[in-house]
Amino acid sequence: MSVTVRVPAKVNVQLAVGPARPDGFHDLANVFLAVGLYDEVTVTPSPGGLRVTCDGPDAGQVPLDRTNLAARAALALAERYGRTPDVHLHIAKDIPVAGGMAGGSADGAGALLACDALWRTGASREELLDICAELGSDVPFSFVGGAALGTGRGEKLQPLEVGGAFHWVFAMAGRGLSTPAVFREFDRLGEGTNIPAPVASQELLDALAKGDPDALAATVSNDLQPAALSLFPELAGTLAAGRAAGALAALVSGSGPTTAFLARDPESAAAVAGALRTSGTCRSVRTATGPAPGATVIRNDRSQ
Ligand code: C5P
């Protein structure tokens, strides 16, 4: 008996960050776009108790204890619906780890939907989204996918219209960056300045709605980029290599260190990817299009 859920990575086409709040989080205007790089989470009953395994190129960097968001999702759902969390969660990991593409959040959203299907809790979508928000700021978006504006700490979502497929290239870096460390660096760099409340760009929302890559390229922004570059200066070389290869826009994805390059069409994306691969400025390169669907059950033996 098992259930498998597929969950996408994300790129932030706008990440506007406000000042630190009293709770340590930052208010955001966070325009998420799900892209077609996926983790798959499979849940099976495990009489020996909760355990997590992982395979994939970055599997060695994934924590397999209860700090893993997949394990935390299973525990939270079990507690709320009176189930025993005796499950084996296996993560087939294709999303870069500690990369700013919400790979950990994807596993949390995936495990939640998989356990919900296995245990038949009867939870509503709103109840599942509440648990997602408790697990982490990006987890609700991993669950819903598509494109959305996230406000609050990023967990309050408003779905966005997208008028076409956008073609992306992602360059994975040689090491990860910790999200809290990048936000701390944002605070340090902003000390003594007046940081305005974050606002979504109407031009950017219009560009998404039109499916216009040139207009989107002209409006993408990431307020965390200076902080990510400050902690990881070599990323400037990766951004420059992608721009030189014809990317319409080059930016750090979320808190980084993955860098994201918007291309006009699949051919241009392949050319940018090829140039980045030989640039010596990154560890690996992937192409993907967005928007992509959110967490989706792709196999369910439980329903037989
Ligand atoms: O919510 P999540 O656990 O993903 O957040 C990880 C860390 O990122 C937080 O502990 C905080 O340091 C930082 N963060 C933030 N403001 C947000 C989201 C995350 O400062 N809106």
Residue 70 has pLDDT above 60, yes or no: yes
Residues 182 and 149 in one domain: no
Q: Give catalytic status of residue 301 as yes or no.
A: no
Report DSSP state, residue 198: P
What pLDDT does 98 receive? 79
What pLDDT does 164 receive? 97
Containing domain of residue 251, as a range?
A: 166-289
pLDDT band at 93 (very low <50, low <70, confident <90, very high): very high
Residue 72 has pLDDT above 60, yes or no: yes
Residues 218 and 191 in one domain: yes
Residues 238 and 138 in one domain: no
Give the DSSP H or E segment for 40: strand 26-45
Q: Does the annotation list 242 as a binding residue?
A: no
Q: Does the annotation list 101 as a binding residue?
A: yes
Residues 197 and 275 in one domain: yes
**In this structure, is the dihedral angle defined by the CA atoms of residues 30, 258, 233 and 245, taken in order, positive or negative?**
negative
Instruction: Check which CATH number belongs to the domain holding 218 and give it.
Output: 3.30.70.890
**Is residue 137 within 6 Å of ligand 1 at its C-beta?**
yes
**Is residue 153 within 6 Å of ligand 1 at its C-beta?**
yes
Which residues, 6+ apart, have CB-to-CB distance to 269 below 8 Å? Answer: 167, 168, 169, 261, 263, 287
pLDDT band at 129 (very low <50, low <70, confident <90, very high): very high
Give the DSSP H or E segment for 108: helix 103-119
What pLDDT does 303 receive? 65
Residues 20 and 136 in one domain: yes
What would the pLDDT profile of 154-210 be if each residue is shown by its tens digit? 999 999 999 999 999 999 999 999 999 999 999 999 999 999 999 999 999 999 999
Q: Give catalytic status of residue 10 as yes or no.
A: yes
What pLDDT does 302 receive? 78
Residues 7 and 147 in one domain: yes
Residues 125 and 210 in one domain: no
Q: How many domains does the chain have?
A: 2
**Is residue 151 within 6 Å of ligand 1 at its C-beta?**
no
Residues 264 and 296 in one domain: no
Residues 206 and 151 in one domain: no
Q: Ligand 1: distance of its center to the CA of 137 in Å?
A: 6
Residue 304 has pLDDT above 80, yes or no: no
CA distances from 286 to 14, 215, 256, 276 (A): 21, 23, 15, 10
Find, among 166, 129, 131, 132, the residue nearest to 146 by Cα.
Answer: 166
Q: Ligand 1: distance of its center to the CA of 25 in Å?
A: 6
**Is residue 58 within 6 Å of ligand 1 at its C-beta?**
no
- What angle in degrees, to the nearest 10, is found between the helix axes of 103-119 and 69-81? 30
Tell which atom from ligand 1 comes closest to the C-alpha of 154.
21
Do 291 and 145 form a contact (C-beta atoms < 8 A)?
A: yes
- Strands (E) in 126-241, as ranges, are 147-151, 156-159, 166-172, 221-222
Residues 64 and 175 in one domain: no
Mean pLDDT on 9-38: 97
Instruction: Check which CATH number belongs to the domain holding 47 and give it.
Output: 3.30.230.10
Q: Does the annotation list 105 as a binding residue?
A: yes
What pLDDT does 154 receive? 94
Which of 39-43, 82-86, 94-98, 135-139 has the lowest average pLDDT?
94-98
Task: Report the C-alpha gap between 201 and 206 in whole angstroms.
Answer: 9
What pLDDT does 161 receive? 95
Q: How many residues does the chain have?
A: 304
Residues 138 and 210 in one domain: no
Mean pLDDT on 221-236: 98
Mean pLDDT on 25-39: 98
Residues 275 and 179 in one domain: yes
